[in-house]
Amino acid sequence: MLSEQIITRLTDIVGAQRLLLEQDDLQRFGIDRTTIWKANPCAVVLPGSVEEVQQLVLLANEFNLAIVPSGGRTGLSGGAVAKDGEIVVAMDRMNQVLDFNPMDRCVTLGAGMITSQLQDFAEEQGLFYPVDFASTGSSQIGGNIATNAGGINVIRYGMTREWVMGLKVVNGAGDILELNRGLVKNNTGYDFRHLFIGSEGTLGLICEATIQLTRPPADSTVLVLGIDNFPAILDVLRTFSTEIDLSAFEFFSQAALDKVTEHRGHAKPFATQTPFYALLEFETATESVMDKAMALFEKCMEEGWVLDGVLSQSLAQAKALWKLREDISETLWHWQPYKNDISVRVSRMPDFLREVDELVASRYPDFELVWYGHIGDGNLHLNILKPEALSNEDFVAKCGNVSGEIGQLLAKYEGSISAEHGVGLLKKDYLHYSRSPLEIELMRSIKKAFDPNSILNPGKLFD
């Protein structure tokens, strides 16, 4: 419960209409898409400027109040959960385009802009913002940057990090920092911009970002292939990627396809059922590219890697095929999945996936696994579906044990416990499987430098 003095000070900063204290608002802003923790913030504030954010951070330092930054609240690791009486600083109002330069192909915008709105703005300028994933219609750019979001185009365009040319942030001490200022070349010592990208709100609040845009892609074709076994997926990837510039190479299991077609009403790509499916996308600016793709498809069929396939013949069909992959995550929420967002080197994926399957089958035979992911960049999404008879508490406890054992496998394969969703609350107990004790200690030192009183997103990433 906040004192009247603090409520008055918060009201002075953001205005009475921008200070939310009602229970419904606290619940709505205090949680992300994880279902493990209950929201319990003491207040929600919606600043409208960098200066207001600075005043909020200075006030939090003065009264030793914790702050949880909030974007679109679409996170899957508990990074935006306020469960211990924190003040939620929601960036929803800071959503305007502040500057655009067509020569530089750079746009500066508020961190609260919805990702799809940036994509639409780029399209209006005849340009393209390539970072794309299932929650673009509700996630915010600041949250994307704070978690270094990936998505379906990473194989060609890279992660969010590749497109951030500058940041304006308020660090934990209340200082306003302007980082890199949109420069392409700037070799003047440490690039603090990259520290804030992926920092999950533990170093500062991202208020504004300067984003690089690029030319739109040419017309694309989508190819969905039914594949006999997981190692064959890599044979297909190698075969196509050596001859064609792929913009996406995704995969999903038969279990994932069954769930999507049953609950979303999508048509199956073809009659043949196969253990795995690969979705490839590539630009078809010339007929020679299409001819080459068909020749590679035939080669994969002859080798026995591919059992069936379908090639999009129109934009509508391409979108329909993409829906088979894009709608998996939303569909699986019906089963309250325990999600593992993990990565290993592409060459090690078959052995790693086999060991995970064997582990879960032997130790947790009642758990159904659903695999999908961004195979072109080594990112696997392992979803464990809750058995109907198991309580949520028991399910989460058992899945915690699974995650620990998967963490040990990740350490063996030199992989990561978080490929693109961040660490947050969900994965901090497993951070040591991907980071050495020295690295974690150095991370704590960096946080101390930018957030000396540890008021920003406490308990996230590490304790």
Q: Using one digit for the tens of pLDDT, what is the confidence trace for 190-222?
A: 999 999 999 999 999 999 999 999 999 998 999
Bridge partners of residue 385, in order along the sequence: 368
Q: What is the pTM of this model?
A: 0.94
pLDDT of residue 334: 87
Domains 97-212 and 220-329 share a fold: no
CB atoms inside a 10 Å sphere around CB 24? 8
Q: What are the phi and psi torsion angles at 271 (to 5°)?
A: -70, -30
Number of alpha carbons in the 13 Å side-chain half-sphere of residue 380: 29
Check pLDDT > 90 for residue 287: no
Check pLDDT > 90 for residue 424: yes
CB atoms inside a 10 Å sphere around CB 188? 8
pLDDT classification of 365: cutoffs 50, 70, 90: confident
3-state SS, 386-428, equals CCCCCCHHHHHHHHHHHHHHHHHHHHHCCCECCCCCCCCCCCH
Taking the C-alpha atoms of residue 154 and residue 345, their distance in angstroms, rounded to an integer, is: 14
Check pLDDT > 80 for residue 261: yes
Kindly state the tokens that stand for 218. 């040419």
pLDDT classification of 134: cutoffs 50, 70, 90: confident
**Residues 414, 417, 422, 425, CA torsion sign:** negative
What is the CA 315 to chain-centroid distance, rounded? 26
Residue whose tokens read 């059992």? 307
**115: which residues sit within 8 A by CB, 6+ positions away?**
72, 131, 135, 136, 137, 139, 140, 141, 144
Delimit the domains of the chain by residue range.
Answer: 4-92, 97-212, 220-329, 336-421
CATH topology of domain 4-92: 3.30.43
Average pLDDT, the chain: 95
pLDDT of residue 341: 92
Residue 207 DSSP SS3: strand
Residue whose tokens read 């795995």? 276
Q: Using one digit for the tens of pLDDT, what is the confidence trace for 292-324?
A: 999 999 999 999 999 999 999 999 999 999 999
pLDDT of residue 398: 87
pLDDT classification of 343: cutoffs 50, 70, 90: very high
pLDDT of residue 181: 95
Contact status, residue 82 vs residue 40, Cβ threshold 8 Å:
yes
Check pLDDT > 90 for residue 361: no
Q: What are the phi and psi torsion angles at 308 (to 5°)?
A: -165, 170
Q: Which of 377, 347, 341 is nearest to 156 (CA)?
A: 377
Taking the C-alpha atoms of residue 9 and residue 4, their distance in angstroms, rounded to an integer, is: 9
What's the whole-number mean pLDDT along residues 228-257? 96
CATH of 336-421, one of 3.30.70.2740, 3.10.580.10, 3.40.1440.60, 3.10.20.90: 3.30.70.2740
CATH topology of domain 220-329: Alpha-Beta Plaits (3.30.70)
Taking the C-alpha atoms of residue 103 and residue 461, their distance in angstroms, rounded to an integer, is: 39
Exposed e or buried b per residue across 81-102, where buried means at least 16 C-beta atoms within 10 angstroms of its C-beta: bbbeebbbbbbbebbeeeebee
**40: which residues sit within 8 A by CB, 6+ positions away?**
26, 30, 82, 83, 84, 85
Kindly state the tokens that stand for 181. 């200022």
Kindly state the tokens that stand for 50. 């960098």
Check pLDDT > 80 for residue 425: yes
Q: Which of 114-128, 276-290, 431-445 has the lowest mean pLDDT?
A: 276-290
Residue whose tokens read 């804030």? 196
Kindly state the tokens that stand for 313. 């013949």
pLDDT of residue 317: 96
Classify domain 97-212 by CATH architecture.
2-Layer Sandwich (3.30)
